[in-house]
Structure 1
Amino acid sequence: MRKQIVAGNWKMNKTVQESTQLADEIVSNVKDLSLNNTRVIIAPTFVNLSEVIKVTESSIVEVAAQNMHQAKSGAYTGEISAEMLTSLGLKTVILGHSERREYFGETDAILAEKVDAALANDLEVIFCFGEVLEDRKAGNHFNVVESQIKNGLFHLEATAWKNIVLAYEPVWAIGTGETASPEQAQEMHAFIRKIVADKYNQEVADNVSILYGGSVNPGNAKEIFSKQDVDGGLIGGAALKADSFISLVKSF
């Protein structure tokens, strides 16, 4: 049975003090919740990972990294390797976020290398992908999503997919206040599950969690998360306050 996941991507927000305070509030609020099949993940910036891990270590709240470099080590000033992440005790990394693709030039080929490096170090990957507004308006959104998934992930063996979480991000709905309708989200998620099944098999497709990321908030989460193929959310702005994030965790 695939897991439901609420993952908060804090992006370039929060000082170390603010991060530990937010993490502590989240830990305090989830400890009494009945979360039989729901994972709660938070992803602070690199410099705050160690302190946030300390706050969450005895709780069900998991900590993930927002990114990593594909090389094992070397002259890559400012970058972070998979081994550095696992040495902190991390088990999950977000790769391919639309902001990494747009602002930092991460291509499908680079992301395929990053995925391989993460899996080689026993890291679970939350793999992001999605179309921009022009693609949606042109009716090209399915082709874009299929291409990004194929190029980034379809070189993997079926067994590797136990460590893959998919995150569909309609880029036009990230931080804009615009949100794909629950029906649009379900339509795309069902399409994603089908192409995974066509490439591998139905079991792999049925077991992979597919998250929606695009201006999810306490007002729309319950309806979006209720859709058959939507297994949770990769949350941006609403993850930066404990009360809104916890309300999303309770939305299943």
Structure 2
Amino acid sequence: MKSDSGRVSHVSRQKENNMKMVAGNWKMFKTVEEARAYFVELATATPPQGDKVRVIVFPNYIALGALATTGSVPAWVLLGAQDVAAEVEGAFTGEVSPAMIRSTGATHVLIGHSERRHIIGESADLLHRKLINSLQASLIPVLCVGETLEERNAGKIEEVVFGQLDTALSDVQLCDGAQLVVAYEPVWAIGTGVNATNEQIEEAHHLIRQHLKQLLGTAIGGSVAILYGGSVKPANFASIAGLPSVDGGLIGGASLKPSAFAELIAIAEQV
């Protein structure tokens, strides 16, 4: 199908087992002009071939709205928002509704990023309402889950991560796994200089996969893409993306430079 901006979108398809996702979260970086220049440069990179790689970029709201009116975003890049309101519309100053996000041509939205949970202080109930609101507007939620260092050291990985999944996906019924993406973010491995080992990443993703099957059913839970988001960069992405239970990466700092992001896309294509 085509998105509202006319770019070709494959989001309605069931996720193929060998497809990798490369998702760039710009966080609070890039003005409108910087965003346009970024995509002009990224457009010179070799586009991913076939259906091996799906590329998504999450700009800030201002840049996202401005990009909808330009032809600078390559056809092989999907856009998403970094957050979404829990309400459809109304007197909620500063909030941005799913319909507003859809009007830019965006197809995805981040929900429950660790910075929203731990810095902004968003509650589990609020994130659940945001996810439901997004699904009802035909946006694809990228649900972020993960534990802090204190929770990991206390042996509460499953308790915390499963609890985040349980609350966010309570009473959620999906037609297929392509309607949802999950991103595992070990909070203790983001910008701390401490990296998760491949064994730790694979174990966490495997546990999340099994829990998704319990929550959503074997077929749908088994086809939801699970991304890794813990200080991913070109130097470590090949080994991470090659793990059996990892479907790609949610990338922060390394997505801010078009050359580094293009390198990550090329790595995903070779895994």
1:239 deviates by: 0.4
**Could you tell me whether the CA contact under 8 Å between 2:184 and 2:205 is conserved in 1?**
yes
Alpha-carbon displacement from aligned partner over 1:112-139 (angstroms, at most 9, x marks no partner): 1001100110101111010001011111
Residue in 2 that maps onto 1:110: 126
Residue in 1 that maps onto 2:49: 34
**Could you tell me whether the CA contact under 8 Å between 2:36 and 2:72 is conserved in 1?**
no
Residue in 2 that maps onto 1:176: 192
1:228 deviates by: 0.5
1:230 deviates by: 0.3
> How far apart are the structure 1 equivalents of 2:239 and 2:216?
30
Match of 1:45 among 35, 52, 60: 60
1:56 deviates by: 4.8
- Code of the aligned partner of 2:202: Q
1:160 deviates by: 6.1
Residue in 2 that maps onto 1:19: 35
Higher helix share: 1
Q: SS of the counterpart of 1:77? A: coil
- Code of the aligned partner of 2:105: G
Tell me the C-alpha RMSD between the 2 structures. 1.5
> How far apart are the structure 1 equivalents of 2:80 and 2:196?
25
Residue in 1 that maps onto 2:11: none
Identity of aligned residues (%): 39
Cα 1:34–1:198, aligned 2, differ >3 Å: closer, same or farther?
A: same
Alpha-carbon displacement from aligned partner over 1:190-211 (angstroms, at most 9, x marks no partner): 0000011123322112211000
Alpha-carbon displacement from aligned partner over 1:16-67 (angstroms, at most 9, x marks no partner): 1111111222222143x32522101111100011333434555101111000
**Unpaired runs of at least 5, structure 2:** 1-15
**Could you tell me whether the CA contact under 8 Å between 1:82 and 1:117 is conserved in 2?**
yes
Q: SS of the counterpart of 2:57? A: strand
> How far apart are the structure 2 equivalents of 1:15 and 1:67?
18
**Could you tell me whether the CA contact under 8 Å between 2:43 and 2:74 is conserved in 1?**
no
Cα 1:58–1:250, aligned 2, differ >3 Å: closer, same or farther?
A: closer
> How far apart are the structure 2 equivalents of 1:5 and 1:89?
19
Match of 1:190 among 206, 210, 214: 206
> How far apart are the structure 2 equivalents of 1:56 and 1:21?
8
**Could you tell me whether the CA contact under 8 Å between 2:176 and 2:220 is conserved in 1?**
no
Residue in 2 that maps onto 1:88: 104
Q: Is 56-65 or 102-111 further displaced after alignment?
A: 56-65
> How far apart are the structure 2 equivalents of 1:38 and 1:178?
28
> How far apart are the structure 2 equivalents of 1:11 and 1:58?
20
Between the two proteins, the alignment pairs up a number of residues equal to 251
Alpha-carbon displacement from aligned partner over 1:120-159 (angstroms, at most 9, x marks no partner): 1010111101000101111111211000001101321142
- Code of the aligned partner of 1:43: F
Match of 2:81 among 65, 75, 78: 65
> How far apart are the structure 2 equivalents of 1:197 and 1:241?
36
